Homo-oligomer: A and B are copies of this chain.
Amino acid sequence: MSDQPAAADAPSNPGPGESSQPAEPSKSALKKAQKDKEKAEKKAAIKARELAERQKKEAADAADVSKDSYGELPLCGSKDFKPTGTPRANLSASDAADNEDKEITFRCWVENARVQSAKLAFLNLRQGLDTVQAVVAASEKLSKQMVKFSGNVSTESTLVVTGLVKRVKEPIKSASIKDFEIHITKLFVEVAAEVPLPLQVEDAERPLPSEGVGEEEEKQDESSGRPLVTLNTRLNNRTIDLRAKINHAIFVIKSGVCTLFQEFLSQKGFLLVQTPKILGAASEGGANVFELKYFDRPAYLAQSPQFFKQMLIAARFQKVMEIGPVFRAENSNTARHLTEFTGLDLEMEFQEHYHEVMAVLEDLMLFIFKELNARFKKETDLVRSAYHVDEFKLPESGKVPRIPFKEGIAMLREAGEELNDYDDLSTPQEKHLGRLVLAKHGSDFYTLDQFPLAIRPAYTMPSPSDPLLSNSYDMFMRGQEICSGAQRIHNAALLAQQMRTHDPPINPNGPGTKDYVDSFRYGCPPHAGGGFGLERIVQFWLGLPNIRMTSLFPRDPQRVVP
């Protein structure tokens, strides 16, 4: 297609073929001719103006020594886009040091850009958790136009930048790379961000105003005077919110906990399994379960992989683990409940005593804590410093405090709490016990063993030492439960009996229970296990005020979007 605009084809002057047959025009024809003429003149004027502008721009371009060094790139993947093949650098303090005085090209995004003067612009550029200061300075080789363009790039745009890595004399406070800055030679906007942003990323970096859910009152940050954006506003704009470094750090740690969980257990011979999330019948009592339409019948979402992981032990898989979503239709609007969260589950046969399994669970968590400190210190420090959270204390002996439930009750009583031997602990009592254990044993992590039978699920093995107790345990971080586990009953007759006498009773021959109970008829070995809440581990490791911060797109009774 020609570059000539379509307007140029309009018949402002009759063509040669038309003028060869002159004829007296009618009145209406004259009127039309007049109109056509006016139209043509208007078009000619527009054309002339466009031409003048184009020429002016071309002249400016000709004068702009940097005209090929900045601008907007066409959409990547489109016809106009030509790959350059230029190697792309990483942005980090060590990469910067390696490239001192060299020119590098890298993708980054704009934390902010500002024009300092006609000859100078500054940008803060980010890649991952790293930020660097960049300078665009006018010179013989770099035009003022480019300075102006660069300083006006919208915040959060994605760029491809080329520049020299230069050491600075004074450390740069505002960037994570403090000893180097980038002297930009080329700057292309790869993807422009629209303005205004629905949420400023720097506002998402600041700690949450309060623990509350649905807290709508906007407060101010005391030091910066900027608004403290509520959790709801952040979650409504989660894609922007998640860009905050503090959020990146949280999810790097969450990914790390998963990886460490698997790494430790794989080495112990655990098999990674996937059990169904759609169930033909509500299994564990029927309360707090989401119902769905499964073709022409009802079905239910799994509240845990409990029955299935035990059936796999019955199927002779000696040690199994699963990482997967669990669904709880609990209408709990608290800072530590989600309706969908990630279960870290494991189940294993043991040889003679369920404490063999507790030892595996304790060693597992000690491994995770140790490796979080070793591999994710930067991320941990970044988050804890924002929330002024204490270090997570582990026992110097390396031995996890393992406290019989009865002893826990006694400690609480001694500290003034009123409760009986077989009472369940309230959340405040759990937190109180956490403080007592920390004071006595110097550990933020501990296990309570031998819980009262009446407050545990029907499949829990009663304790041989006291029929009112059970071979079951919970694990706590900073006084809050992160894991519940037990030896399970591996005998069908005893299991059925316990289900029938449970409060509320469960029918062992029901559609959701019969296959489960039957699987213990054919030689299932003794076994125990536990289920951890991944989000809680992350929340309490970091000392975060709200569990929603540890879920990418949290689900609670009020929220199912985005």
| Chain A residues engaging chain B, CB cutoff 8 angstroms | 75-79, 81, 83-85, 88, 107, 109-110, 128, 156-158, 190-194, 197, 238-243, 247-248, 251-252, 254-255, 258-259, 262, 266, 271-281, 290-295, 297, 299, 301, 308, 311-312, 314-318, 323-325, 327, 329, 331, 339-340, 342, 349, 351-354, 461, 464-465, 471, 487, 490-491, 494, 511, 515-516, 518-519, 521-526, 534, 551-555, 557, 560-562
Known pairs A274-B325, A292-B301. 15 more at Cβ < 8 A? A76-B490, A76-B526, A107-B525, A193-B523, A238-B315, A239-B314, A239-B515, A240-B315, A248-B317, A274-B551, A276-B554, A278-B340, A290-B292, A294-B329, A295-B557
Q: How far is the CB of A226 from chain B (nearest CB, A)?
A: 20
Query: Which residue on chain B has the smallest CB distance to residue A189?
Result: B523
Bound-state Cα–Cα, A107 to B350, Å: 10
Q: How far is the CB of A379 from chain B (nearest CB, A)?
A: 11
Q: Sample 13 A-B pairs with CB under 8 A, ordered by A number.
A: A107-B349, A158-B525, A240-B315, A241-B315, A277-B325, A279-B561, A280-B560, A290-B293, A291-B292, A295-B331, A295-B557, A312-B552, A516-B562
The CB with the most chain B CB atoms within 10 A, among A247, A325, A351, is that of A351
Bound-state Cα–Cα, A243 to B312, Å: 9
Evaluate whether A524 and B272 lie within 8 angstroms (CB atoms) in the complex, with A238-B315, A316-B109, A324-B325 already known: no
Taking a contact as CB atoms under 8 Å apart, the answer to whether A325 and B325 are in contact is: yes
Bound-state Cα–Cα, A248 to B320, Å: 12
Taking a contact as CB atoms under 8 Å apart, the answer to whether B276 and A553 are in contact is: yes
Bound-state Cα–Cα, A193 to B461, Å: 19
Evaluate whether A191 and B525 lie within 8 angstroms (CB atoms) in the complex, with A107-B351, A325-B325 already known: yes
Evaluate whether A560 and B278 lie within 8 angstroms (CB atoms) in the complex, with A255-B272, A290-B292 already known: yes
Taking a contact as CB atoms under 8 Å apart, the answer to whether A312 and B242 are in contact is: yes
Copies of this chain assembled into the complex: 2
Query: Which residue on chain B has the smallest CB distance to residue A561?
Result: B280
Report B-chain residues with C-beta under 8 Å of the C-beta of A271: 251-252, 255
Evaluate whether A293 and B292 lie within 8 angstroms (CB atoms) in the complex, with A315-B239, A325-B324, A327-B278 already known: yes
Q: How far is the CB of A330 from chain B (nearest CB, A)?
A: 10
Taking a contact as CB atoms under 8 Å apart, the answer to whether A81 and B464 are in contact is: yes
Q: How far is the CB of A263 from chain B (nearest CB, A)?
A: 10
Bound-state Cα–Cα, A349 to B158, Å: 12
Taking a contact as CB atoms under 8 Å apart, the answer to whether B239 and A519 are in contact is: yes
Task: Return the 4 tightest CB-CB contacts between A and B, nearest first.
Answer: A280-B560, A515-B562, A242-B315, A292-B292
Q: How far is the CB of A548 from chain B (nearest CB, A)?
A: 12
Report B-chain residues with C-beta under 8 Å of the C-beta of A314: 239
Report B-chain residues with C-beta under 8 Å of the C-beta of A560: 276, 278-280, 294, 297, 299
Taking a contact as CB atoms under 8 Å apart, the answer to whether A316 and B248 are in contact is: yes
Taking a contact as CB atoms under 8 Å apart, the answer to whether A77 and B464 are in contact is: yes
Bound-state Cα–Cα, A190 to B85, Å: 67
Taking a contact as CB atoms under 8 Å apart, the answer to whether A77 and B471 are in contact is: yes
Query: Which residue on chain B has the smallest CB distance to residue A242?
Result: B315
Bound-state Cα–Cα, A239 to B311, Å: 6
Taking a contact as CB atoms under 8 Å apart, the answer to whether B292 and A524 are in contact is: no
Q: How far is the CB of A518 from chain B (nearest CB, A)?
A: 8
Query: Which residue on chain B has the smallest CB distance to residue A78?
Result: B464
Taking a contact as CB atoms under 8 Å apart, the answer to whether A274 and B552 are in contact is: yes
Bound-state Cα–Cα, A76 to B350, Å: 10
Bound-state Cα–Cα, A311 to B553, Å: 10
Q: How far is the CB of A43 from chain B (nearest CB, A)?
A: 29
Report B-chain residues with C-beta under 8 Å of the C-beta of A555: 276, 278
Q: How far is the CB of A438 from chain B (nearest CB, A)?
A: 30
Taking a contact as CB atoms under 8 Å apart, the answer to whether A193 and B280 are in contact is: no
Q: How far is the CB of A44 from chain B (nearest CB, A)?
A: 33
Q: How far is the CB of A348 from chain B (nearest CB, A)?
A: 12
Report B-chain residues with C-beta under 8 Å of the C-beta of A274: 254, 325, 342, 534, 551-552
Q: How far is the CB of A270 from chain B (nearest CB, A)?
A: 9
Report B-chain residues with C-beta under 8 Å of the C-beta of A255: 271-273
Residue in B107, B240, B315, B471 whose CB lies within 8 Å of A243:
B315
Q: How far is the CB of A123 from chain B (nearest CB, A)?
A: 14
